[in-house]
């Protein structure tokens, strides 16, 4: 049995009923492979095939060789074109990209009645 966290215990003690469950899915299959990561600010990511992302989509970067600081980080993106998008990070000082990266789509849902924007 998992241990109940202190935060949850406090919440229950106060008999609050404002908890909503959230689910975040990070897709892992058939996700756009990264062809290039430009060392610019904001960072530009170029994918091997059309990524289909739109402004505001969230992606998680994984598997990158070179600028490894990007790995397992999540970013909302600004679409530049079918193959490129910007992420909110200054990559001008990062090492050169050496391959193997993926830009995985992140989608999220909440049980709450309205959309919620959370810090990833």
Partner 1 sequence: MALLTVKQAGGGDHTTIATALAAIGTTPGAGADDIVEVYNGTYLEGILNTLPSGTSWDHPFILRVAAGNTATIRKTGENNIRVYEPTSLAFFSSIDDFIFDGVNLTNDQVSFSAADSSPSSIRLRNPEFINTNNYNAIYVGTFCDDIRIEAPHIHGGDFIGVGNAAGRAHGIYLTGSNCIIEDFHIHDIPGFGVHQYSQHFPLPSNNIIRRGRVHNVGTESHIAAGVLVDSGTGTKVYQVVSYDNLGKDGDGGVGFVIKGAGNQGFNLTAYGNSFIGIDAQGSRSALIKNNIAFNNGQDTDFTGANGNGAPVALDQSNNLIGVDPLFTNPGAGDFTLQAGSPAIDIGTPIDGLAYTGAAPDAGAHERGLATLPVIDIIVTPNPIPPGGSGTVEWDTDGDTVDIPGVGDGLAPTGTAPLPPGQSLVTVQAHNVNGSSIAQQAVGEFAAGLLYRATVGYMPRSIKAGADLSVDNLEIEGLMVDKVRALAQGLLIQGLSNEDLQVGRFDHAKAEIFFVNYENPESRLILPGSGNIGQMKMKRGTYVAELRGKTIYLQQTIGDLYSKLCRAQIGDDITDYRVSGFGCHVRLDPPFWRSLQNYTVRPLYDAAKGSVVKPNVYNGRQFRCSVAGISGFTEPNWNLTIGATTVDEFGGTAEWITEQAMTVFGSVTQAWNKRFFKDAARNEPAVTGLGVNTGTAQYAIRALDQGAKWFEVDGDIASYFTTGTTFTINGSIGNDGTYTTTIASFTGDRTRITVSESIPDEEISGAITAPLTIPTGFFSYGKLTFLTGLNKGISKEVQDFKLAKYTIVDVDDGAKLFMVEGDQTAFFSVGQQFPVTNSTGNDGSYDIVSVTYNMGDDVTEIEVAQAIPDATVDGDILSGPGDFELFERMPFEIAEGDEYVVSAGCDWSKEMCKQKFDNIRNRRAEDEIPGMDIANLSPDRPTA
User: Burial of 96 by CB count in 10 Å (0-12 exposed, 13-18 middle, 19+ buried)?
Assistant: exposed
Cα within 13 Å of Cα(5), Cβ side: 3
Size of the site for partner 1 (CB under 8 A): 77
Min. distance of Cβ 61 from partner 1 in angstroms?
14
Q: Which of positions 69-88 make contact with partner 1 (CB under 8 A)?
A: 74-78, 80-84, 86-88
Cα gap 95→64, rounded to integer Å: 11
Q: Is residue 101 within 8 Å of 62, Cβ to Cβ?
A: yes
Binding mask 21-60 for partner 1 (x = CB under 8 A): xxxxxxxxxxxxx-xx-xxxxx-x-x-xxx----xxxx--
Cα gap 62→72, rounded to integer Å: 5
Min. distance of Cβ 69 from partner 1 in angstroms?
16
Among 69, 98, 101, 103, interactor with partner 1 by CB under 8 A: 98
Min. distance of Cβ 108 from partner 1 in angstroms?
4
Among 68, 69, 73, 108, interactor with partner 1 by CB under 8 A: 108
Residue count (the chain): 120
Among 15, 61, 96, 101, interactor with partner 1 by CB under 8 A: 96
């Amino acid at each position: 049995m998992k241990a109940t966290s202190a935060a949850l215990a406090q919440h229950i003690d106060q008999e609050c009923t404002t908890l909503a469950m959230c689910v975040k899915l990070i897709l892992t299959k058939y996700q756009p492979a990264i062809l290039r990561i430009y060392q610019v600010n904001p960072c530009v990511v170029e994918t091997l095939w059309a990524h289909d992302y739109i402004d505001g989509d969230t992606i998680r970067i994984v598997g990158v060789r070179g600028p490894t600081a990007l790995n397992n980080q999540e970013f909302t993106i600004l679409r530049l074109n079918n193959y490129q998008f910007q992420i909110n990070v200054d990559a001008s000082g990062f090492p050169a990209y050496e391959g193997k990266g993926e830009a995985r789509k992140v989608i999220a849902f909440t049980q709450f009645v309205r959309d919620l924007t959370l810090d990833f």
